[in-house]
A and B are shown apart, each in its own frame.
Chain A
Amino acid sequence: MKLITHNMLMSPGTRNGFPLAIEVESLEEVEADFNPEFIARMVEKLDYPALLQTVASLSVVEGTLPPQVPEKYAEDEEFLKALHHVLLEVEIVEGSLVCPETARKFPIKEGIPSML
């Protein structure tokens, strides 16, 4: 599971089940093609504070993102590259997601979270 997916997930059947806490068992850093257009589009769709919260909990990417989205983010290649790395190049292979409301656990196996 990549962090881009994590930023969209919430605990099913809850009101405040977002963002889910991540318990990492194994994590991989993969390489992905950088597509600035796509990342810039994603900025509008992301819940940035939730992403910062998640990033702070993962040691590999901690502190790589600025606390605020820059004004002209579409031209800010450095920011887009950092965001690209966080969103698409960090893969949580094994672990679990924990609902902040009910403390329910959703396992992640082979990179696929089970949201049931």
Chain B
Amino acid sequence: MAPVAPFWGDGPFYLCHLIHSWLNFRLAELRACADVAGVNLSIDEEEAFELRRGAEGVLLRIALDDEAAVARLTARTVLVRSVYEIWATGGSWEELEASIKRVPLAHCVPFLAEGTTFRVRVASFGHKYTPEEQTAMINKLGPLLPWKGKVKLQHPDHTFFIIVDVPQQQADGPPPPPHAAADHSIAGHKPAPLAGVAAGPPTKFYFGRLVGEGQRSLVGALDLKKRNYIGTTSLDAELSLVMANLARVRRGQLVYDPYCGTAGCLVAAAAFGARVLGADLFLPVLRGKLRTRSGPSALTQPQEQGIGLTFAQYGLPPPAGLLHADSGRHLCCLRAAPLFDAIVTDPPYGIREKPAAMDDAPLLERLLPEAQREGHVPRTALAAVDTILVDLFALAERCLAVGGRLVFLLPTTLPFSEALLPPHTLLRLEGAYEQRMAARWSRWCVVMRRCTAEEAAAARGEAAAPHVGRVFHREVIRPSRPQQKDAGALNPELLNKGRAKRKDPRPAAADGIGEAARITTVKGRDHPPAKKGARAARRRERAAARKEAASASDGGLRARLWRVAVRTGPVLVVLAAAYVFYRRARATR
């Protein structure tokens, strides 16, 4: 790996401005894009480690061969905002000034020459400069460089940036004091020093030229809110683009999604120039018959919708084909050949999207009469996460070209490791990137590469970790229904004693039901039930228990009559008294 040029003197280096989300995906995407673009990217390992560990930073030094390489790289990256060619750096404004003065004229003159237009902007991270402060900083640059061009704020030929990176407080340190000394930072051109930061990495100043901008606009263009056709679980546009990048989708390739749904993954792959093929078990979704937008937006819902129209909306060539098929390994309807260059998919794991496999014995065993087969809707069932993985690996080993990538999303309640994946001989794990979904589970984007049989044989010598088994424990997220307490197993006296102590009118048998009712309210959430409905639930429970108690006891009827008598008695007495008074009054008149 070529060493990264630290400062001016060894030549300019490039500074990459990453976005501050998808923290675990950023470096992997950058490297995948370099792979696709065929550029020689080198990242300082130490800095990359810092970026991963802290996950706060957005600036990363990278080394690339030339500006053309930057253009090729940024034509693909989604998680890179921009790339700058850095001319000067410094730990303070004074150091930066000194560094700018050392920039060789031969390098900077072409960009500052007469007849060109330029603008200068300030980008700061971890500290905010007011417009006045920014102007003051920009004006300070005047005497340092031979500016011969004309200022043009809209669409200039060259954009220069002053970048100030103030490292953030570490999580364990004391909270940073407010930036009270804002005017001090103009005077000394140094942001207010933070009490706790002194020990941390120092503030950095950079001066450079903007050389490339990433494909952030593509994220907005493919936004689900503006898409013609989406379902309840359509894949986020940004993630789908990142997945297409991780799959190294190139122009002219064929990409397959065995669980395509509304074709979220495929649209992203097509946006990078691939032709796509999709399959799904649910026929209406392929025909564009899904009606998911309800409420006021139903008015704005297009009358004409469908996967083909989504592609047309983005000006992409329509999918090469859509299949109504089960993607299970025993029902694979694709011939065994290296048909696809990549498989990118978000399978239905039964967390939000249910059926994943066909469960229709008459159809599968061909017992269905010909006449009925026409309009037959196959019965589908929930497939276990592990089963889907086995199917997916079987498909990838059968139909993926050597060197092609399988990229899929996998929910786990356990920390990810290769041992979670079912056995796979022809696939090598390249990486897995975590997206935290809730306190107890994450979604991982897993990237695997199809290797040759020889590679697989060579790797077989390595000790393979045993398969752990269940990847996703549903019980962790949804507490399973507790077994009804076996009243007979306990001494009835003990049960009665416990009830008396709790002053609970419920008989023993009702206990389990009450518990189950409470669990049902929790179902589907991973946090305790909201307090709001708790009182009503308790009231309902008590009423149910009372009812049960009344009907269960031997003298149910008598007890009920007695209760009616007790409740209505006083009213009857009062009425009788009133009547007696009324009669007396009439008699005396």
- CB <8 Å contact, A114 and B277: no
- CB <8 Å contact, A104 and B366: yes
The reply to whether the CB of B283 lies closer than 8 angstroms to some CB of chain A is yes
- Complex Cα gap A113–B366 (Å): 18
- Complex Cα gap A114–B251 (Å): 29
Q: Which residues of A contact B322 (CB under 8 A)?
A: 111-112
- Complex Cα gap A29–B360 (Å): 35
Selected contact of B275 from candidates A12, A38, A114, CB within 8 Å:
A38
Smallest Cβ distance from B14 to chain A, in angstroms?
Answer: 30
Q: Which residues of B contact A112 (CB under 8 A)?
A: 283, 286-287, 322-324
- Complex Cα gap A54–B48 (Å): 54
- CB <8 Å contact, A47 and B323: no
* Interface-central residue, B251, B317, B333, by most chain A CB under 10 Å: B333
Smallest Cβ distance from B479 to chain A, in angstroms?
Answer: 36
- CB <8 Å contact, B321 and A5: yes
The reply to whether the CB of B459 lies closer than 8 angstroms to some CB of chain A is no
Please, which residue of chain B has its CB at the minimum distance from the CB of A18?
B335
The reply to whether the CB of A107 lies closer than 8 angstroms to some CB of chain B is yes
- CB <8 Å contact, B333 and A47: no
Please, which residue of chain A has its CB at the minimum distance from the CB of B341?
A41
Selected contact of A116 from candidates B277, B318, B324, CB within 8 Å:
B324
- Complex Cα gap A12–B394 (Å): 14
Selected contact of B320 from candidates A33, A37, A88, A116, CB within 8 Å:
A88
Selected contact of B363 from candidates A32, A110, A113, A116, CB within 8 Å:
A116
Please, which residue of chain B has its CB at the minimum distance from the CB of A113?
B323
- Complex Cα gap A113–B325 (Å): 8
The reply to whether the CB of B51 lies closer than 8 angstroms to some CB of chain A is no
Number of interface residues of A (CB under 8 A): 33
Q: Which residues of B contact A111 (CB under 8 A)?
A: 322
- Complex Cα gap A4–B276 (Å): 11
The reply to whether the CB of B40 lies closer than 8 angstroms to some CB of chain A is no
Q: Which of A70-116 contact B (CB under 8 A)?
A: 88, 102, 104-105, 107, 110-116
Q: Known: A38-B275, A113-B323. Is A8-B330 also a contact (CB below 8 A)?
A: no
Q: Which of B301-334 contact A (CB under 8 A)?
A: 317-318, 320-326, 330-334
Q: Known: A110-B287, A115-B325. Is A10-B252 also a contact (CB below 8 A)?
A: no
The reply to whether the CB of B510 lies closer than 8 angstroms to some CB of chain A is no
The reply to whether the CB of B574 lies closer than 8 angstroms to some CB of chain A is no
- CB <8 Å contact, B252 and A13: no
Smallest Cβ distance from B446 to chain A, in angstroms?
Answer: 25
Q: Which of B246-301 contact A (CB under 8 A)?
A: 251-254, 275, 277, 283, 286-287
- Complex Cα gap A18–B286 (Å): 24
The reply to whether the CB of A60 lies closer than 8 angstroms to some CB of chain B is no
Q: Which residues of B contact A116 (CB under 8 A)?
A: 324-326, 331, 358, 360, 363, 378
- Complex Cα gap A45–B373 (Å): 33
The reply to whether the CB of A59 lies closer than 8 angstroms to some CB of chain B is no
Smallest Cβ distance from A27 to chain B, in angstroms?
Answer: 15
- Complex Cα gap A80–B277 (Å): 20
Please, which residue of chain B has its CB at the minimum distance from the CB of A7?
B335
- CB <8 Å contact, A47 and B283: no
Q: Which residues of B contact A105 (CB under 8 A)?
A: 370, 373
Smallest Cβ distance from A43 to chain B, in angstroms?
Answer: 12
The reply to whether the CB of B339 lies closer than 8 angstroms to some CB of chain A is yes
- CB <8 Å contact, A12 and B332: yes
* Interface-central residue, B254, B286, B324, B401, by most chain A CB under 10 Å: B324
Smallest Cβ distance from B271 to chain A, in angstroms?
Answer: 15
Selected contact of A5 from candidates B277, B287, B332, B363, CB within 8 Å:
B277
- 25 A-B pairs within 8 Å (CB atoms) are namely A2-B320, A2-B321, A4-B320, A4-B321, A5-B321, A5-B323, A10-B335, A12-B331, A12-B332, A33-B317, A35-B252, A35-B275, A38-B254, A40-B252, A41-B252, A42-B254, A45-B338, A88-B320, A105-B370, A105-B373, A111-B322, A113-B323, A115-B325, A115-B331, A116-B324
User: Can you name 6 extra interface pairs (CB under 8 A) apart from A2-B320, A12-B333?
Assistant: A8-B334, A9-B333, A9-B334, A41-B254, A45-B337, A107-B373
